[in-house]
Amino acid sequence: MSPTPKKKQAKTVAKRKPVMAIVPNTADVEQTNAALIARREAAVARGVASAAPVFAKHAENAELWDVEGNRYVDFAGGIAVLNTGHRHPKVIAAAKAQEDHYTHTSFQVVPYEPYIALAEKLNALAPGAEPKKTLLVTTGAEAVENAVKIARAATGRPGVIAFTGGYHGRTLLTLGMTGKISPYKKDVGPFPSDIFRAPFPSVRDGITVQDALTGLQNLFLTDAQPERIAAIIIEPVLGEGGYTPVPFEMMQALREICDTHGIVLIADEIQAGFGRTGTWFAVEHSGVVPDLITVAKSMAGGYPIAGVIGKADIMDAVIPGGLGGTYGGNPVACAAALAAIEAIEEEGLLARSTALGETFTTRFAEIGARVAPYRMWDIRGLGAMLAVEFVTDFDTATPDAALTKSVVAHALKRGLILLACGMHGNALRIMVPLTASDEIIEEGLAIFEAALADAIAESH
């Protein structure tokens, strides 16, 4: 295998001429990653970080080409946004067809049918027999904020309980719920009040489900009076926290606790939803029906849209005009989302996710034993939402963030895009499009194995 990605002829993309020559027209200028990095450093806020020092030019399904023509296998999927792959033909066609009619009116001014159609579809997909309603917004953090707002309106209570390692967004309210300091919460507090943190079950930290539930009950006794708690929010599979599934008995216990105290249970499915785990929503694996579900990412195959799906009586707690947003439920994004959901159904991507999960689990175990004995401490997840955790050794299980970072860097050099995650930065997560061919999956796994060997050799 070549140590550097192969070069291919870059596609020519037609560019519309600017109306006024205020901004330099760079369409015909040969671009390089280095030149764009320099422009980025001069123009873009430092806080917006990028994992890869390469710039996208073109992408198809699970492949991406940078501005220099280098080809990459994409196992990151735009942070779990591309379950249906880059530029799925059905999604692109639906978006273009909608653009021929109108691109924006604001649903709060002149409503439109695609918003209603998507809400109907999401209501039908969400677990549980109760009548449901949906709010559409633009970003995942916005969905979480609105879920909390709805829960507060429905209960008349202020408090929210989240969990260690959970990730719920980067706005100030959602950062208050996010359970990881660096880089998300560093130097930007204080955060809103009435947000409490409960322990998450963790094999690494020796926290059992019973320990976590005892911690939650202690929280009720010490800081979070249950009669003042509006919602408990949890990711059925931790995202940034390390791709760790919530044990099913934990989810079931949370449902009982919420029912006992009149608390709204929110499943944050922004990263785990739309087939990533082999079901439409990861919470379905536990058999639990939450009161509210937040969604975004892979819902629209790359177009920005998010939402809250919930039991109708809870969703209707907010008065008219209390929910919404200028771009919420953009018609082009609604059309794309309906097409992406249809593609998942028609192409059997739920079953594909389950099959991919089995493939990755088996191959990771083989690669670890062959290339990095006693360094791949855990392979975990649901369906194709998987992570591999690296440690210095099995005796101490000390997190090895340096090795993880090295694997990511060597993989990129060889033509594979990977992302790390986890409280200690020592896990690699798999977010490959579910539409990726077996050949692309095998190519990516071969590159991963070579990159791991590179990183192990470099560490000695």
**Among 300, 318, 346, where does a domain finish?**
346
Per-residue pLDDT tens digits for 224-255 = 999 999 999 999 999 999 999 999 999 999 99
Q: What CA–CA distance (Å, rounded) separates 127 from 221? A: 32
Instruction: Give the per-residue pLDDT at 27.
Output: 53
> Is 4 within a domain?
no
Q: Are 266 and 151 in contact (CB under 8 A)?
A: yes
Eight-class DSSP state of 389: E
Burial class of residue 45, CB neighbours in 10 A (0-12, 13-18, 19+): exposed
Classify strands 159-163 and 229-234 as parallel, antiparallel or unpaired: parallel
Which band of pLDDT confidence, cut at 50, 70 and 90, is reported for residue 9?
A: very low
| First-to-final CA distance of the chain | 22
We report the CATH number of the domain holding residue 208 as 3.40.640.10
Which residues have a Cβ under 8 Å from the Cβ of 362 and sit 6 or more positions away? none
Q: What CA–CA distance (Å, rounded) separates 8 from 270? A: 35
Amino acid at 119: A
Which residues have a Cβ under 8 Å from the Cβ of 21 and sit 6 or more positions away? none
Q: What CA–CA distance (Å, rounded) separates 232 from 317? A: 17
Which band of pLDDT confidence, cut at 50, 70 and 90, is reported for residue 5?
A: very low
> Is 230 within a domain?
yes
**Mean of the per-residue pLDDT values for the chain?**
93
Q: Are 406 and 460 in contact (CB under 8 A)?
A: no
> Is 62 within a domain?
yes
Task: Indicate if the pLDDT at residue 198 is higher than 70.
Answer: yes
Q: Are 344 and 352 in contact (CB under 8 A)?
A: no
Per-residue pLDDT tens digits for 115-170 = 999 999 999 999 999 999 999 999 999 999 999 999 999 999 999 999 999 999 99
Instruction: Give the per-residue pLDDT at 21.
Output: 36
Q: What CA–CA distance (Å, rounded) separates 197 from 176? A: 9
Instruction: Give the per-residue pLDDT at 12.
Output: 35
Instruction: Give the per-residue pLDDT at 7.
Output: 43
Per-residue pLDDT tens digits for 359-393 = 999 999 999 999 999 999 999 999 999 999 999 99
We report the CATH number of the domain holding residue 375 as 3.90.1150.10
Are 107 and 205 within one domain? yes
Q: What CA–CA distance (Å, rounded) separates 73 from 63? A: 5
**Among 289, 312, 346, where does a domain finish?**
346
User: Where are any strands of DSSP class E within 150-210?
Assistant: 159-163, 195-198
> Is 75 within a domain?
yes
Q: Are 406 and 456 in contact (CB under 8 A)?
A: no
> Is 5 within a domain?
no
Are 180 and 54 within one domain? no
Task: Indicate if the pLDDT at residue 343 is higher than 60.
Answer: yes
Are 355 and 260 within one domain? no
Question: Which residues span the domain enclosing 283?
Answer: 93-346
Task: Indicate if the pLDDT at residue 14 is higher than 50.
Answer: no
Instruction: Give the per-residue pLDDT at 419.
Output: 97
Instruction: Give the per-residue pLDDT at 121.
Output: 98
Structure tokens at 194: 């009435």
Which band of pLDDT confidence, cut at 50, 70 and 90, is reported for residue 28?
A: low
Structure tokens at 17: 């001429």
Q: Over range 178-183, report the average pLDDT.
A: 88
Instruction: Give the per-residue pLDDT at 293.
Output: 98
Exposure pattern of 405-429 as b/e (b: 16+ CB <10 Å)? ebbbbbbbebbbbbbbbbbbbbbbb
Residue of 239, 288, 249 lying closest to 126 (CA atoms): 288
Q: Are 433 and 86 in contact (CB under 8 A)?
A: yes
Are 206 and 297 within one domain? yes
Per-residue pLDDT tens digits for 416-441 = 999 999 999 999 999 999 999 999 99
Q: What CA–CA distance (Å, rounded) separates 35 from 382? A: 40
Are 118 and 262 within one domain? yes
Residue carrying the six token digits 């998507």: 118
28-36's contacts with Cβ under 8 Å and 24+ in sequence apart are 31/55, 31/67, 31/68, 32/67, 32/68, 33/66, 33/67, 33/68, 36/67
- For residue 344, the number of C-alpha atoms closer than 13 Å in the C-beta half-sphere is 28
Are 238 and 277 within one domain? yes
> Is 251 within a domain?
yes
Instruction: Give the per-residue pLDDT at 3.
Output: 46
Q: Are 284 and 126 in contact (CB under 8 A)?
A: no
Are 433 and 452 within one domain? yes
Instruction: Give the per-residue pLDDT at 30.
Output: 77
> Is 28 within a domain?
no
Are 341 and 356 within one domain? no
Task: Indicate if the pLDDT at residue 100 is higher than 50.
Answer: yes
> Is 12 within a domain?
no
The predicted model scores a pTM of: 0.92
Are 222 and 336 within one domain? yes
Are 209 and 219 within one domain? yes
Instruction: Give the per-residue pLDDT at 23.
Output: 43
- Total structural domains within the chain: 2
Which band of pLDDT confidence, cut at 50, 70 and 90, is reported for residue 308?
A: very high
Using DSSP's 3-state secondary structure scheme, residue 77 falls into helix
Task: Indicate if the pLDDT at residue 196 is higher than 90.
Answer: yes
Instruction: Give the per-residue pLDDT at 4.
Output: 47
Q: Over range 64-76, report the average pLDDT.
A: 98
**Among 298, 315, 346, where does a domain finish?**
346
Q: Are 440 and 433 in contact (CB under 8 A)?
A: no
DSSP secondary structure letters along 316-357: TTSPTTSS--TTTT-HHHHHHHHHHHHHHHHTTHHHHHHHHH
Are 315 and 371 within one domain? no
Q: What CA–CA distance (Å, rounded) separates 257 from 279? A: 25
Instruction: Give the per-residue pLDDT at 6.
Output: 47
Are 196 and 158 within one domain? yes
- Percent of the chain past pLDDT 70, that is, above it, reads 94
- CA atoms 295, 297, 298, 302: torsion sign: positive
Which band of pLDDT confidence, cut at 50, 70 and 90, is reported for residue 29?
A: low
**Sheet order of strands, 427-430 included:** 376-382, 385-390, 427-430, 419-421
